[in-house]
């Protein structure tokens, strides 16, 4: 059942985000695909963060976080913030530079979700980057959308 569950979930395509938070001097970022738009009024988003993630206590303590929506070509950024460090990747102003969009969120609620925590954020500000194709994750790899030219 566990293997079938993992295989089924690998067949669900998603965009890729980097979630980041700062608490005092400590700033942390983490790659996450378990992200969704939750509500329009009020504007809420939800994501699932592993109970073991170093980001979680920082995000909880800060009471605020950003979500950068990655664009095609930002595979190295995704890998870096998933624990496979790449040279020259860093957060700038608390978010990923060059992202398709960045959501600045206040922590709204936390719910248990098995080995993950469901984090709900209230979107207080949106920064739109240049339009373009997203970074897509599907069947354990980065994929490209066929994008109209």
Residues engaged in binding ligand FAD (CB under 6 A): 16, 27-34, 48-50, 53-55, 78, 80-83, 85, 90-91, 116, 137
105 vs 109: CA distance, rounded Å: 11
CB count in 10 Å sphere of residue 48: 18
Smallest separation, CB 22 to ligand FAD (Å): 8
Identify whether the C-beta of residue 14 lies closer than 8 Å to the C-beta of residue 136: yes
Phi and psi at 3, nearest 5°, equal -65, -40
134 vs 16: CA distance, rounded Å: 8
13 vs 16: CA distance, rounded Å: 10
In this complex, which beta carbon is closest to ligand FAD, that of residue 70 or of residue 123? Answer: 70
Smallest separation, CB 41 to ligand FAD (Å): 25
Q: How far apart are the first and last CA of the chain?
A: 42
In this complex, which beta carbon is closest to ligand FAD, that of residue 95 or of residue 122? Answer: 95
- DSSP 8-state symbol, 107: E
Smallest separation, CB 91 to ligand FAD (Å): 5
In this complex, which beta carbon is closest to ligand FAD, that of residue 82 or of residue 101? Answer: 82
Smallest separation, CB 85 to ligand FAD (Å): 4
In this complex, which beta carbon is closest to ligand FAD, that of residue 8 or of residue 41? Answer: 8
Look up residue 147 and give its two tokens.
């994008």
In this complex, which beta carbon is closest to ligand FAD, that of residue 90 or of residue 109? Answer: 90
Smallest separation, CB 28 to ligand FAD (Å): 4
């Amino acid at each position: 059942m566990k293997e079938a569950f993992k295989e089924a979930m690998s067949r669900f395509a998603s965009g890729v985000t980097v979630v980041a938070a700062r608490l005092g001097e400590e700033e942390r970022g983490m790659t996450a695909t378990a992200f969704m738009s939750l509500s329009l009024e009020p504007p809420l988003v939800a994501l699932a963060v592993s109970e073991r993630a170093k980001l979680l206590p920082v995000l909880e303590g800060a009471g605020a976080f950003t979500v950068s929506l990655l664009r095609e070509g930002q595979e190295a950024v995704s890998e870096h913030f998933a624990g496979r460090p790449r040279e020259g990747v860093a957060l700038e102003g608390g978010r990923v530079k060059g992202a398709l969009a960045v959501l600045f969120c206040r922590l709204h609620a936390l719910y248990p979700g098995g080995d993950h925590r469901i984090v709900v954020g209230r979107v207080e500000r949106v920064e739109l980057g240049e339009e373009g194709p997203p970074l897509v994750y599907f069947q354990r790899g980065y994929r490209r959308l066929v994008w109209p030219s």
